[in-house]
């Protein structure tokens, strides 16, 4: 009981804060856009900007000065209505791909990516732009990325920024072990570590592991990192290679505070010899320090099944909830699907996590992007798939790669990639895909509800981890240049519902006053919770009851 009370207590406080934010949010739009060109391109990361628009980054295959096509960073700024404000690429004579972006306090942007243009092999790159998209600086950190042997495709690097100091943390990878780089706002390294896991039981021999995402706890100045560990276990009757999702927390100096791996042992094929693969794809930290992570599982049937897994832990890494989910169509048809890398965000407005990813039809292998919103205990509120089905139209396949909270407008933004079966002459093989939803996940077109059937909880195990210091960086030239693209609007709606319609609208779905709102008020009132202190005077009395009754009777417009 103590554990459950702590969980719901912290979520009541977070929910009250979220309601206050949502009630004051401005009206926004919801839409779907495609940004097309003769080149191949796609988005891998998105962030909502201070003006209510979005910044997306990824790759675009463009010719260099010799006419040879290589991948470059592709950076697109969209305004509040989704329209393109500017498009830029950055890169050298070899392949360069941007994986992660975040807006800074001055309205500019920090972008993390990987490059082959300046040193042999891959290297980590940080690029800083001003609010207008002009070059400020770029730095490379040689030998800090080299792909990894666990994730396919390679997840790339991921960054987060401490507010308001604008120090930067970035994931990387060398050989069989991951790295973290922590820099000042100019990209000068403060510390840089590679992390090793020694071969202790239940591990048989040295494991390999790789990071996928990183999120700061802004209050503690600590960071939590997600990823995957690959090992052989002495627990199984027939030891084989196994993968588990991992989370690690480091202090402000990069020293590990804890490191857990999380396992779902139930195997659909061989219950007596479980070999279920779990991959940690993304992580975010709630204001109270609770950790939310999303990833992928194969249910023990590699190449046949793919599903979603989610974890919520306390600040010490101990799980309050661990579930895996089987994607299904509403008619019961089983799907395959998993989150994109670095594609989970904790929404402070509603105290709920939201996840972006891709689902696949098991017969046609046609993919669609998806968004899933769950409650704090990881039970789905709704899941929507975005994009056509093979028989319904040209805008398929679609991939969901990253999600951003629409806390300045409403809903959520999702970035990814779209392809056409019968492209118009101007479209290339793949294009940028931007989805902007309202609070219930509706974008206005090319969407359908699907299910995520939750299954059994997993188990956690604590492991040791050891850091090794590293240090090096190089300045890079200004290789930023403008490019063109054609904006295709699949649908656009000028308004977006932003949250509760009045003080009595305490429970989702917003805009509907029903027994869920009554229950939320009664539970909050009896427990002296902020959600039921409607006049915000710190006293739970008849005044709050009167406000609830009058607003409930007034109804939502």
**Contact between residue 246 and residue 229 where contact means Cβ atoms under 8 Å apart:** yes
Are 102 and 235 found together in one domain? yes
Q: Pick the more confident residue, 493 or 396.
A: 493
My answer on whether 368 and 441 are in the same domain is: yes
For residue 235, the model assigns a pLDDT of 66
Question: Is residue 290 assigned to a domain?
Answer: yes
Alpha-carbon distance of 37 to 487, in angstroms, equals: 9
- State the residue range of the domain holding 480: 2-493
**What's the CATH code of the domain at 468?**
2.130.10.10
- 120 pLDDT more than 80: no
328-381 tens-digit pLDDT: 999 999 999 999 999 999 999 889 999 999 999 888 888 999 999 999 989 999
The predicted pLDDT at position 550 comes to 92
Q: How much is the pTM?
A: 0.85
pLDDT of 24 strictly over 70: no
Q: Is the pLDDT of residue 399 over 60?
A: yes
Residues 536, 396: one domain?
A: no
Identify the burial level of 153 via C-beta atoms within 10 angstroms of its C-beta, where 0-12 means exposed, 13-18 middle and 19 or more buried: exposed
For residues 42 and 23, what is the distance between their CA atoms, to the nearest angstrom? 34
pLDDT 10s digits, 404-458:
999 888 899 999 999 865 445 444 578 999 999 998 899 999 999 999 999 888 8
Helices 542-554 and 515-526, packing angle to 10 deg: 170
335-347/459-462 β-pairing:
unpaired
| Separation between Cα atoms, residue 95 and residue 90, nearest integer Å | 10
| 227 and 273 housed in the same domain | yes
- Count helices and strands (H / E) in the chain: 3, 34
- Choose among 525, 493, 342, 549: nearest CA to 27: 493
pLDDT above 90 (res 12): no
Q: What is the pLDDT of residues 205-246, one digit of tens each?
A: 789 999 999 999 988 999 999 999 998 877 666 667 889 999
Q: Determine the average pLDDT of the residues in 158-183.
A: 93
Share of the chain above pLDDT 70, in %: 89
Q: What is the DSSP letter of 25?
A: P
Side-chain half-sphere of 239: how many Cα atoms within 13 Å? 11
On the CB side of 76, CA atoms within 13 Å amount to 31
Closest CA to 427 of 63, 69, 38, 59: 38
Query: Same structural domain for residues 537 and 450?
Result: no
Q: Are residues 528 and 477 in the same domain?
A: no
- Residue 113 makes CB contacts below 8 A (sequence gap 6+) with 57, 73, 96, 97, 98, 99, 100, 124, 125, 127, 156, 157
Cα–Cα distance for residue pair 515/391, rounded to 1 Å: 40
Residue 351, in any domain of the structure: yes
Same domain? 358 vs 443: yes
Phi, psi of 320 (to 5 degrees): -95, -25
Q: Do residue 281 and residue 235 come from a single domain?
A: yes
CB crowding 87-117: b at 16 or more within 10 Å, else e: bbbbbbeebbbbbbbbbbeeebbbbbbbbbb
- CB proximity list for 299: less than 8 A, separation 6 or greater: 267, 268, 276, 305, 307, 324, 326
Other CB atoms within 10 Å distance of the CB of residue 400: 30
Q: Euclidean distance between the first and final Cα of the chain, in Å? A: 40
User: pLDDT digits over 286-311, tens only?
Assistant: 999 999 999 999 998 888 899 999 99
- DSSP letters, 527-553, are TT-GGG-TT-SS--SHHHHHHHHHHHH
Residue 60 lies in a domain: yes
Q: Which residue has the tokens 């395959």?
A: 336
Checking DSSP bridges between strand 352-361 and strand 367-374, what pairing results, if any? antiparallel
Residue 406 covered by a domain: yes
Read off the pLDDT of each residue in 71-90 and give the average, rounded to a whole number. Answer: 95
Q: Are residues 138 and 212 in the same domain?
A: yes
DSSP 515: H
Do the domain assignments include residue 234?
Answer: yes
CA torsion angle for 136, 140, 146, 151 (degrees, to 10)? -20
11 by DSSP, 3-state: which? Answer: helix
Residues 401, 538: one domain? no
Q: Give yes or no: residues 426 and 534 share one domain.
A: no
Are the C-beta atoms of residues 228 and 245 closer than 8 Å to each other? Answer: yes
What is the rounded average pLDDT for all residues in the chain? 87
Same domain, yes or no, for 485 and 407? Answer: yes
Which residues neighbour 412 within 8 Å (Cβ) at sequence distance 6 or greater?
Answer: 345, 347, 354, 371, 403, 404, 405, 406, 436, 437, 441
**Residue 508, in any domain of the structure:** no
Separation between Cα atoms, residue 52 and residue 381, nearest integer Å: 25
How many residues are recorded in the chain? 557
Locate 497 and state its tokens.
Answer: 């519902």
Kindly tell me the burial class for residue 472, based on how many C-beta atoms sit within 10 Å of its own C-beta (0-12, 13-18, 19 or more).
exposed
- Within a domain: residue 501? no
493-505 core/surface letters (b: 16 or more CB in 10 A; e: else): eeebbbbbbbbbb
Inform me whether the pLDDT recorded for 482 exceeds 70: yes
DSSP-assigned beta bridge partners for residue 556: none
Residue 29, beta-bridge partner list: none
Total domains in the fold of the chain? 2
SS3 helix, strand, coil % of the chain, rounded to 5? Answer: 10, 50, 45
Residue pair 96/44 in contact (Cβ under 8 Å)? The answer is: no
- Whether residue 477 lies inside any domain: the answer is yes
Confidence of residue 497 (pLDDT cuts 50, 70, 90): low
Question: What is the pLDDT confidence band of residue 176, given thresholds at 50, 70 and 90?
Answer: confident
């Amino acid at each position: 009981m103590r554990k459950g009370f702590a969980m719901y207590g912290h979520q009541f406080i977070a929910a009250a804060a979220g309601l206050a934010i949502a009630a004051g949010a401005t009206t926004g739009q919801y839409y779907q856009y495609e940004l097309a060109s003769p080149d191949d391109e796609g988005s891998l990361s998105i962030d909502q900007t201070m003006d209510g628009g979005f910044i997306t980054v990824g790759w675009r295959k463009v010719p260099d000065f010799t006419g040879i096509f290589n991948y470059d960073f592709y950076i697109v700024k969209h305004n509040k209505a989704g329209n393109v404000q500017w498009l830029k690429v950055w890169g050298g004579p070899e392949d360069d791909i941007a994986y992660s972006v975040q807006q800074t306090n001055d309205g500019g942007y920090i972008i993390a990516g990987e490059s082959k243009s300046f040193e042999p092999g891959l290297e980590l790159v940080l690029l800083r732009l001003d609010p207008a998209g002009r070059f400020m600086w770029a730095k490379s950190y040689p030998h800090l990325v080299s792909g990894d042997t666990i994730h396919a495709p390679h997840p790339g690097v991921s960054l987060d920024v401490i507010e308001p100091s604008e120090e930067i943390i970035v994931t990387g990878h060398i050989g069989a072990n991951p790295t973290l780089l922590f820099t000042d706002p100019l990209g000068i390294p403060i510390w840089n570590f590679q992390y090793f896991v020694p071969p202790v039981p239940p591990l048989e021999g040295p494991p390999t592991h790789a990071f996928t995402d990183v999120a700061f706890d802004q209050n503690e100045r600590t960071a939590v990192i997600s990823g995957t560990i690959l090992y052989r276990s002495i627990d199984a009757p027939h030891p084989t290679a196994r993968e588990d999702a991992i989370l690690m927390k480091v202090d402000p100096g990069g020293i590990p505070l804890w490191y857990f791996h999380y396992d779902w042992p139930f195997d659909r094929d061989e219950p007596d010899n479980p070999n279920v693969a779990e991959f940690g794809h993304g992580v975010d930290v709630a204001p109270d320090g609770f950790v939310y992570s999303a990833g992928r599982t194969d249910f023990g049937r590699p190449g046949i099944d793919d599903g979603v897994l989610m974890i919520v832990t306390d600040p010490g890494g101990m799980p309050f909830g661990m579930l895996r989910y089987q994607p299904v169509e509403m008619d019961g048809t089983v799907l395959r699907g998993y989150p994109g890398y670095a594609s989970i965000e904790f929404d402070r407005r509603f105290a709920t996590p939201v996840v972006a990813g891709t689902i696949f039809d098991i017969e046609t292998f046609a993919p669609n992007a998806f968004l899933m919103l769950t409650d704090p205990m990881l039970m789905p509120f709704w899941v929507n798939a975005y994009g056509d089905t093979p028989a319904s139209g040209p805008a398929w396949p679609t991939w969901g790669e990253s999600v951003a909270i629409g806390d300045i407008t409403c809903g959520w933004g999702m970035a990814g990639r779209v392809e056409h079966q019968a492209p118009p002459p101007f479209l290339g093989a793949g294009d940028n895909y931007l989805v902007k939803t309202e609070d219930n996940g509706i974008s206005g077109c090319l969407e359908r509800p699907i299910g995520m059937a939750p299954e059994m909880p997993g188990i956690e195990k604590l492991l040791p981890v050891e850091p090794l210091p590293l240090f090096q960086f190089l300045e890079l030239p200004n290789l930023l240049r403008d490019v063109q693209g054609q904006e295709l609007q699949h649908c656009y709606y000028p308004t977006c519902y932003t949250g509760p319609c009045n003080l009595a609208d305490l429970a989702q779905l917003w805009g509907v006053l029903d027994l869920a709102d009554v229950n939320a008020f009664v539970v909050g009132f009896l427990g002296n919770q902020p959600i039921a202190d409607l006049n915000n005077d710190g006293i739970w009395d008849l005044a709050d009851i009167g406000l609830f009754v009058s607003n409930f009777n007034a109804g939502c417009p």
